[in-house]
Amino acid sequence: MTPTPELISRYYAAFNAKDWNAMAGCVSENINHFVNEGDKRGGRAAFADFIAHMDDCYDETLTDIVVMASPDGTRASAEFIVNGVYKKTDAGLPEANGQTYRLPAGAFFDVKDGEIQRVTTYYNLKEWIRQVS
C-alpha cells in the first residue's frame, strides 16, 4: 500500500501533468469531494465531471506543495500556491479573458486502503475574484 504522503504527492503530480485519469485513480470510487465554498460531490464520476469542468475554465499549475500526514496515514493536508489562467467564464463568476492569478490554497484528506476517501479544498475566493476582476 502506498504511504499517504506519496499518494497525495502523486495526486498533485497528476494534476500538474493534467493527467485526469491518474488523478481520478488516486481517489476512492465513493470519494467525498468538498469544493471551496461549494456543494459536496459524491463519487468518482462526479469528481471526474468537476475536473473536466475546471479544465475547461481554468489552466492551473500548483507550486510550493507541502504535504503533511498523520502518523497512521488516515489524514493528510497539503498547502500550495495555485498559479492559473482564467480561460472561460465560469457561471456566477467574473467574465474570463485570459486573466492570470496566483493565490495560496490548502486541502484536507481522509485516506483509507491507499485511496483518497475525502478531499476538501480551501482558498480565498474574494482574493481570486479581486485578481481576475
Residue whose C-alpha cell reads 470510487 in the numeric block? 29
Which residues touch 23 (CB under 8 Å, ≥6 apart)?
11, 14, 15, 51
What's this model's pTM, rounded to 2 decimal places? Answer: 0.94
Residue 94, φ and ψ in degrees, nearest 5: -55, 160
pLDDT at residue 37 greater than cutoff 90: no
Average pLDDT over residues 106-131: 97
Would you kindly state where each structural domain of the chain is located, as residue ranges?
Answer: 4-132
CA–CA gap between residue 99 and residue 27 (Å, rounded)? 31
Q: Does residue 15 have a pLDDT over 90?
A: yes
When pLDDT is averaged across residues 83-91 and rounded to a whole number, the result is 97
Could you tell me which CATH number the domain at 4-132 has? 3.10.450.50
